[in-house]
Structure 1
C-alpha cells in the first residue's frame, strides 16, 4: 500500500477538528471531514472508554505546541521562512501569513492532489497573499522537481528557515523516517539558522498495555499501518542526531501546559513534539553538545 495515500483521511478529519476549535477557516473544513468526524464519533467514544487517548486532545496538543515554538522562533528573528511538508488542510500557513504578512515566507507543500485542494480552499478564503504559496512535494524524493531540495531552492540562503511535518512520521517505516530526517538536515544546513518541528508518537508514552489498542485504532482509522519507531525521547533524539541534526529534543507537552491554553480533555501526554536544529545559534532550551536543558519524562 502507498503510505502517503493513507494520510488523506486524517487530513480531512484534522481539518474539521481545527475548524471546530476556532483555529481554522470554514473553507478548510471539508464534507469528508464532517462525515468522518460524526461517523467515527461512537467508535472514538468507545475507544476512549477502552483507554485510547482522546483524539481531539491529541491533535490540538501537537498543533498548538508546534505553533507556540514556531511563533517564538519568528519573533526572536531566528526564522523568517517556513516549509510545511504534508500541510494537508492545516490552517497554520494561513494564520501565520495573516499574523506576519510579507515579513514571513511560508511555503505549504503536499502531494499534488492535496496541494491542489489546498490552493482551491485558499482561493475561497480570498486567495494567496504575498509570501504565501502552495507547492507539490514528495517527502520521500531525493531529487527532482518535487523534492525538498527543489522546493527549498527558491528560499533566501541568508535567512533562517523552519521545516514542519505534522501528522506525518508515524505513517512511515523507521527506514523512511530516517531517510527523511537525513534529507531535512542536509537542506537545513544550507541556511544560517534552521529549526525542525514534528509530532511523533513513542511506544513508551502509550501506557504499556494500551499501546496495541491505540495503534490498532489509528491504523484502522487511516486504513494503513501506524508505526511507533522509538520507545523513549532519548531514542528519538539519538536518531535525529545520527541523521545530521546538531541538537534535538522530544518535548513533553505537559511542560508547556500553561502556554497551550484550554484544550478540551486536557493537554495530551501521549504525543511528543520534536524540536531539532542544525548548526547555528541554538533555540532557547538547548545547550551545547545537542542536549536540552528542558528534560522530558519517559
Structure 2
C-alpha cells in the first residue's frame, strides 16, 4: 500500500484532543470522541481559562462554543437550502460534527478528513459508535492527495467544505494555497461553499497583548505558524476573493447573535472569533 504524501505542515494534533474534550464537556459530543489526553489538557488549562473568562471576557473554551455554534447553524441552513448537499470536513480532528449531522441528516453524504494518525483515531472511535460510519479520509492538505477527497463526491450536487480551528495555524502564503486548492478541486461542483472560523487580530481587546503572547506559546507547542492575519473584515473578503471565491461573508458574533440583518460590516467589533462563509458561483470563471 502506497503511503500518503506528507508535508512539513502536519504537526497539529494536541489541540484536537483538547477541543474534542471541551466539546464533550459542553454536552455536544460522544464520550468516545473524548480522549484521556484531552481531559488532561482541559484540566491543565482550566485555571487560565477561568481567569480569562473573568477578566478578558472570553477564553479558548468560550470561543470554541461560539465558533462551533456559528458553523453548525450555517451548515444547517445550507442543508435546508440544498437537501442534496455533500459535506467534506477537513482537519476534522475529534469534532462531533460529522457524527451529529449523519445521525440527524442521514440522507446527506458527510465525510471527514485528517492526517493519517488522527484519521485512524477518529475512525476507530466512530466505528465503535456506529459500525456503518463511513471511513475517515486521510490526506495532507498541502499535497496533491487532497484532490482525492473531492473525488468521493458527485460534482452534479452542491459541496460544502468546512473547517474549524484550522486556518490560523498557517502563514498567509500557505492559507492562500489552501484556499486556491479548495477552489481548484471544487470549481466543477454545482455550487461550492466553504465555512470556516477565523481568529482576527484581537486589537480591540483590553488584554490583547496577553492573548498575542499566548498565541506565540501555541505556535511553539503545535509547531505551526499560528498567527492573526486580519484586522478588518474587508481584508478577509479580499484575501478569499484572491483565491477565487466571489462571494464572501464575514460573520461577527456581536451582530449575528443579535439577529441583526446587517451581517457584514468593515468594523472589527471586538469578537475573539469570526466565521467566514465563502461561496464560488459555478458561473464564475476561475
TM-score bracket for this pair, using the shorter chain length: 0.7 to 0.9
1:230 corresponds in structure 2 to: 230
What's the offset of the Cα at 1:168? Answer: 0.6
Corresponding position of 2:160: 162
Are residue 42 (structure 1) and residue 47 (structure 2) matched? yes
CA distance in 2 between partners of 1:16 and 1:256 (Å):
26
Counterpart among 72, 82, 88 of residue 87 in structure 2: 82
Task: Tell me which of 261, 268, 271 is aligned to 1:269.
Answer: 271
Measured in 2, the distance between the counterparts of 1:206 and 1:98 equals 40
Q: How many residues align?
A: 265
- Given the alignment of the two structures, is residue 210 of structure 1 paired with residue 207 of structure 2, yes or no? yes
What are the ranges of 5 or more consecutive residues in structure 1 without an aligned counterpart?
260-267, 283-298
Q: Provide the C-alpha distance between the structure 1 equivalents of 2:172 and 2:36, rounded to a whole number of angstroms.
A: 33
* Structure 1 Cα separation of the partners of residues 69 and 84 of structure 2: 18
SS at match of 1:13: helix
When the two chains are superposed, the root-mean-square deviation of aligned CA atoms in Å is 2.3
Q: Which residue of 1 aligns with 2:244?
A: 244
Contact 1:9 1:221 in 2 (8 A): no
Distance 2:59 2:161 in 1: 27
Say if 1:109 and 1:136, in contact at 8 Å, map to a contact too.
yes
Deviations 1:104-155 (A, max 9, x none): 11110000000000011112212233xx4311011111x2xx22x1110121
Aligned counterparts of 2:204 and 2:54: Cα–Cα separation in 1:
14
Task: Provide, for residues 59-94 of structure 1, a one-character-per-residue CA deviation record: whole Å limited to 9, x for no partner.
Answer: 011011111011110111165211111000000000
- 1:202 Cα deviation from its structure 2 partner: 1.1
* Whole-Å separation in 2 of the counterparts to 1:92 and 1:100: 11
Determine whether 1:13 maps to 2:18: yes
Q: Structure 1's 48 and 64: CA in aligned 2 closer, same or farther, altered over 3 A?
A: closer
2:195 aligned with 1:186: no
CA contact (8 A) 2:218 2:226 kept: no
Normalised to the residue count of structure 2, the TM-score between the two structures is 0.86
Matched residue SS, 1:238: helix
Q: C-alpha displacement at 1:39, in angstroms?
A: 1.4
Distance of aligned partners of 1:273 and 1:158 in 2 relative to their CA distance in 1, 3 Å threshold: same
Per the TM alignment, residue 50 of structure 1 is displaced from its structure 2 partner at its CA by 5.5
- Aligned positions of 1:107-118 closer than 5 A: 107-118=111-122
Match for residue 131 of structure 2?
Answer: 127
Maintained 8 Å contact 2:163/2:196: yes
- Structure 2 residue ranges without an equivalent (≥5): 1-6, 260-269
